[in-house]
Amino acid sequence: MPTTPVLPKLVGQRVKRREDPRLIQGRGTYVDDIALIGMQHLAFKRSDGAHARITSIDTSAAEAIEGVEAVFTGAQIAKFLPPMPIGTPFPSPEHRAVAVDTVRYSGEPVAVVVARDRYVARDAADAIVVSYDPLPAVVDVERAMTGQPAVIHPDFKNNLAVALVPSGTGVSADGSKVDDSAIDAAFKNAEVVISQRMVNQRLAPNTMEPRGVVAHFEPGKGTMTIWSSTQNPHILRTFIAALTGLGQDQVRAIAPEVGGGFGAKINIYGEEYVTAAISKQLGIPLKWIEDRSEAFVATTHGRDIIGYVDIAAKRDGTLLGLKLRLIADIGAYNMLLTAAIPTLTMMMANATYNIPAVRATLTEVFTNKTPTDAYRGAGRPEATYFVERAMDMLARELKMDPAELRRKNFIKPSQFPFATQTGAVYDSGDYEKALDLALKHSQWDRLKAERDAARAQGRLVGLGLSMYVEVCGIGPSAALPTGGWEHSQVTVERDGRISATTGASPHGQGNETTFAQMIADQFGVPFEHVTILHGDTGVVKQGIGTFGSRSQAVGGTALIMAGAKVKKKMAKFAAALFEAHEDDLVFENGTISVKGSPASAKPFASVAAYAYVPVPLPDGLEPGLSDEAFFEPTNNTYPFGCHISMLEIDRETGEPNLLKLVAIDDAGNLINPLIVEGQIHGGLAQGIGQAMIEEVVYGEDGQLLTGSYMDYALPRAIDFPRFELAATVTPTPVNPLGAKGVGEAGTLGSTPCIVNAAVDALSEFGVKHVDMMLRPEKLWRIIQGGRS
Amino acid sequence: MAQISLTVNGKARKADVEPRLLLVHYLREQLRLTGTHVACDTSQCGACTVLVDGRSVKSCTMFAVQADGSTITTIEGLATNGQLHPLQNAFWEEHGLQCGYCTPGMIMAAVTLLEQTPKPSERDIREGISGNFCRCTGYQHIVNAIQRAAAEKR
């Protein structure tokens, strides 16, 4: 009898990614790599100004160019494409994919060209002449709230997209009843109050692959296939079907290889609707690929929230109350999730602390800028930043060690599940453990001594610490307009190999690897015998998508639930073959055997073959081995951690230099620690980028001043120190994997911990707060005697 | 139209191209070598890096006509006889990529880096790949990969 190889358990192992061989050889297929016979190319003519009435559009020169198939103005497109829907239950102004009579941000589309190739399409777009009647550009968000210098959407008085929404202690769930007594008492009884206005600045997500879409309407069949660089092909299918007048059964949406998402590819964009709708009009396949200059204006931005923070405490550091007044500059329009993102900032205002009274309020404001939507972290980094900066200011005021102030106020492990003042129910946590590990791992006391020694030499060195708590894997469906579940179908094929679909459509997260690890372990088969299918609504029958760090916590759970159903059925077939009880079977090493009788082992593949040609068919069984599951979590998960940084500022130039970054992250149970490290690194890089060098800047006329990599500082390899990671593991009870999610965590703790370090470094100048990013000129002015 | 002759991944090629056609578009659209990517329009991201006569070049910064007579290697031509280049293997081993979009350009830039600096320090590597953006990895695993490939070459 041949010896059976012993298969290692893969869950929890640093398994190399199976996605990589194709990607390192240039064999991935991204949207721009797709070529269809007869395919033509789109190019958009975009507004130069931020706010103007369109008085005329002359497309004659564009139409005269050889190779141009068609030109459409916004008014022409409006005849066959309805206004764009949003995915949140907030009131929203009409938003056309291509502007009809008014442009409201620089870069808004005004016309579109269809042409033989991308060069001709661009030539023709440039040849379109648009005349405008300029209107005042609304740029300053706090001025915009007074209706000045203009009202962008007539139905939204004072540019208020969402007028003051309250939440927290004393506020009823629907926000209609507000009792201020607790929060007022907290501040009345306070021995110390910290108040600070902070800006969490606007960022450009910058996926390395810009957006792109190929749409192919086949008139003969009446069906649409749309390939898009998206995080959620099923949501894309839903909206494309609705706006092109097709059924969801008539649209197939495919997310091929997707070159990064970071939240910016959740939204369904005007270009996707337009490409699909024109393909349907003309009956030909069309491609549109965004260039980088377009991406800066046409892909949603992130953050851009002002926070007015007030903390009330006793002199011994005990927190009494927190007020957080939020003003979100959402740009010119509501996109899919725009209005919901800042509500997550309100929700997470409670941070990791016992705070007897919390009051968060939110106002969302239209300006003449690119709309905002999700960007990695999406509302939670903002909450973390505001609270953790304020905690640091409090520690400084009380002359307490920032770690000890936090320790004193933590929600204790025995308090979980913990209902916060702002409506969240934290699933599990041990914040002190993460803090202690961070202090130990960073050698906090030694760092303090090093800092003090450097200062004695006249160097400006600072230390920063930040806690964070995240909300991930959002569910149940009441909490997410798209549905809070995820779907999977697992099939043991006739040859004993396994294919499994997932609605969690990845764009760099490595789900093909982690999910195959889980299925291989579940069925006791070789990793190489498992294929994970994703990103194609023609193959993956249902799904929501990948965002909010939900792939593993929600999608992974659906996967093993579907797997368990199939395994149970396979055990019934095996039980018939073995004449044994189905509960007495062991799946391991590519075989199925009766417990305690390894000699009985039959190849896994032979049982699979029997299930598809079941002669005889066991009583009560249908042939075949395939089943599906929808997993709907009962609650969100709440990963957490502690980040510590050391930073030096050049006294002569003001240039900051990040010397050290230690990140302790608790994402619950880990499936593949190698991939988790990569996720944390990426999050840290984006958080550090925000703290130190990234910022979207608009001029007073509403022109984007940071519209290319000449002006927007995307971090390079030399901008980072070597990150130092460690983990605590506090499983979640919300799902059977105990996994919480990790995609966004790095953006939360890193940002405040770096600014806390910068303020510490500048402490000799009496500075209390510095807004991001840490531009050398800003720091130099502080060093020269200006105050911030 | 201008006629060009060049060698791409060991194969002689002739083509009639518009004088304004970028080398990257010639490679991607006429030769269908789509492993070379485009991620910016200001020559800063490095996603389109290929080797032209053995040196790494951003192929969006060069017209196809300028490549007349030259020898070009793209990511598709880096493996030899089915064996991954040490850098390709090192990126795989060290989880040096996530979405993979910057990866071909990053690897091609690293080829030149290691030829010019066979024993690079971490600083050398970080500076050497600063013409290439990655938004996913925070670069640490890319640095590890290049260190690994350098060590294996020695």
Distance of alpha carbon A162 from alpha carbon A164, whole angstroms:
6
Alpha-carbon distance A534 to A273, whole Å?
22
The CA distance from A612 to A606, in Å, is: 10
Can you give the residue range of the structural domain that contains A408? 302-472+636-783
CB-based contact A452:A461 (threshold 8 Å)? no
Q: What is the mean pLDDT of chain A?
A: 97
Can you give the pLDDT at residue A624? 98
Test mutation, B135, B137, B144, chain A, max A CBs within 10 A: B135
Instruction: Output DSSP code: residue A370.
Output: P
Say if residue A456 is in the same domain as residue A605.
no
Q: Which of B143, B153, B81 is nearest to B106 (CA)?
A: B143
Closest to A713 measured CA to CA, from A696, A737, A730, A732: A696
pLDDT score recorded for residue A786: 66
Give me the residue from A293, A682, A718 closest to B98, CB to CB. Answer: A682
Average pLDDT over every residue of B81-93: 96
Task: Quote the distance between the C-alpha of residue A523 and its chain's center.
Answer: 32
Pairing of β A40-46 and β A109-115: antiparallel
Q: Which two tokens stand for residue A122?
A: 């661009």
- Find, among A424, A353, A421, A439, the residue nearest to A390 by Cα: A353
ipTM: 0.98
d(C-alpha A524, C-alpha A531), whole Å: 15
The domain spans of chain B are 2-77, 86-153
Q: Is residue A612 part of a domain?
A: yes
**Closest partner CB to B104 (pick from A21, A26, A510):** A26
Give chain A's domain count.
3
- For residue A25, CA distances in Å to A90, B33, B104 come to 46, 11, 7
Cα A144 from chain centroid (whole Å): 28
Residue A354 counted as domain residue: yes
Judge if A253 and A111 occupy the same domain: yes
pTM of the predicted protein model: 0.97
Q: What is the DSSP string of A579-628?
A: TS-GGGEEEETTEEEETTEEEEEEEHHHHHHHHHS-SSPPTT--S--EEE
Amino acid letter for position A201: Q
Classify each residue of B70-89 as buried b or exposed e, where b means 16 or more C-beta atoms within 10 Å of its C-beta. Answer: bebbbbbbbeeeeebbbbbb
DSSP A271: H
The whole-number pLDDT of residue A5 equals 67
pLDDT tens by residue, A561-610: 999 999 999 999 999 999 999 999 999 999 999 999 999 999 999 999 99
Per DSSP bridges, beta strands A626-631 and A486-492 are antiparallel
| Domain termination residue (choose one: A575, A608, A631) | A631
Measured in whole angstroms, how far is the alpha carbon of residue A127 from the centre of its chain? 38
Q: Give me the CATH number covering residue A376.
A: 3.30.365.10
- Nearest-CA distance from A26 to chain B in Å? 4
Q: How many helices (H) and strands (E) does chain B have?
A: 5, 5
Q: How many CB atoms lie within 10 A of CB B43?
A: 15
Quick one: tokens of A298? 């046409």
Decide: helix, strand or coil at residue A536: strand
pLDDT tens readout for residues A336-347: 999 999 999 999
pLDDT of residue B118: 96
Measured distance CA(A527)–CA(A8) in Å, rounded: 10
Comparing CB atoms, the residue among A30, A678, A710 nearest residue B137 is A678
The residue with greater pLDDT, A99 or A3, is A99
Q: Is A657 on the interface with B (CB under 8 A)?
A: no
- Rounded average pLDDT over A195-218: 98
Which residue, among B128, B152, B126, B127, has the nearest Cα to B139 in the 3D structure?
A: B126
pLDDT of A787 above 60: no
- How far is A508 from A512, CA to CA, in rounded Å? 10
* A209·B99 Cβ contact <8 A: yes
Q: How many CB atoms are located within 10 Å of the residue A160 CB?
A: 17
Sign of CA dihedral A594, A600, A605, A611: negative
pLDDT given for residue A2 in this prediction = 47
Tell me whether A503 touches chain B (CB under 8 Å).
no
How many angstroms separate the CA atoms of A703 and A700, rounded?
7
Q: What is the CATH number of the domain that holds A250?
A: 3.90.1170.50
Backbone angles phi, psi at B107, to 5 degrees: -65, -45
Please, what sign has the CA dihedral across residues A385, A390, A391, A397?
positive
Residue A172: count other Cβ atoms within 10 Å of its Cβ.
11
CA distance A403 to A467: 9
* Same domain flag for A343 and A290: no
Residues A276 and A313 in one domain: no
B140-153 and A673-692 helices cross at what angle (nearest 10)?
120
| Same-domain pairing of A455 and A394 | yes
CA A345 to chain CA mean position, Å:
14
Mean pLDDT, range A26-44, rounded to an integer: 98
How far is C-alpha A74 from the geometric centre of its chain's CA atoms? 31
Question: Is residue A331 classed as helix, strand or coil in its secondary structure?
Answer: strand
Instruction: Give yes or no: residues A387 and A453 share one domain.
Output: yes
On the question of pLDDT at A66 being above 90, the answer is yes
- Please classify residue A613 by burial: count the beta carbons closer than 10 Å to its beta carbon, then call 0-12 exposed, 13-18 middle and 19+ buried: exposed
For A:284-313, CB contacts with B below 8 A are 291-293
Q: Measured between alpha carbons, how far is A499 from A520 in angstroms, rounded to an integer?
A: 11
**Does A80 lie in the same domain as A223?**
yes
Torsion of CA A380, A385, A387, A389, to 10 degrees: 170
Q: Is A645 found in the same domain as A608?
A: no
| DSSP H or E run through A144 | helix A141-144
From A119, which residue of chain B is nearest by alpha-carbon distance? B21
Any residues with CB less than 8 A from the CB of A221 and at least 6 apart, and which? none
Contacts of B97 in chain A (CB under 8 A): 20, 23-24
Residue A142 lies in a domain: no
Does A716 map to a domain?
Answer: yes
In terms of domains, do A285 and A306 share one? no
Q: Which residues of A755-764 are buried (b: 16+ CB within 10 A; e: fewer)?
A: bbbbbbbbee
Token digits for A742? 């990790």
A643-660 pLDDT, tens digit each? 999 999 999 999 999 999
Is CATH 1.10.150.120 the classification given to domain B86-153? yes
pLDDT band at A8; cut points 50, 70, 90: confident
CATH number listed for the domain at residues B2-77: 3.10.20.30
Strand partners of residue B12: B7
Q: Calculate mean pLDDT across residues A381-393.
A: 98
Q: Which amino acid is at A601?
A: A
Instruction: Determine the distance in angstroms separating the CA of A507 from the nearest CA of chain B, rounded to an integer.
Output: 6
Report the distance separating Cα A684 and Cα A721, nearest Å: 11
Shared domain check, A452 and A373: yes
User: What whole-number distance in Å separates Cα of residue A662 and Cα of residue A643?
Assistant: 6
Task: Look at residues A61, A164, A7, A11 and name the one whose alpha carbon lies nearest to residue A515.
Answer: A11
Say yes or no: A598 and A661 in one domain.
no
Residue with tokens 């690929």: A289
> Would you call A23 and B141 a contact, using CB atoms and an 8 Å cutoff?
no
Token code pair at residue A638: 């709440």
Q: Are residues A716 and A740 in the same domain?
A: yes
- Phi, psi at residue A287, to the nearest 5°? -125, 140
pLDDT, tens only, A693-705: 999 999 999 999 9
Are the beta carbons of B134 and A291 separated by less than 8 Å? no
Residue A364 corresponds to which tokens in the numbers above? 């969302």
Other CB atoms within 10 A of residue A718 CB = 13
Q: Is the peptide bond before A673 cis (omega within 30 degrees of 0)?
A: no
State whether residue A536 sits within 8 Å of chain B by CB.
no
pLDDT at A93 over 80: yes
**Band of pLDDT at residue A514, cut at 50, 70 and 90:** very high
Using a CB-CB cut-off of 8 Å, the residues of chain A touching B75 are 24-26
The model's pLDDT over B39-69, given as tens digits with 9 standing for 90+, comes to 999 999 999 999 999 999 999 999 999 999 9
Give tens-digit pLDDT for A660-695.
999 999 999 999 999 999 999 999 999 999 999 999
> A259 in contact with B at a CB cutoff of 8 Å?
yes
From the list A8, A12, A10, A9, the residue with the least C-alpha distance to A676 is A12
Q: Is the pLDDT of residue A1 over 50?
A: no
pLDDT for residue A173: 87
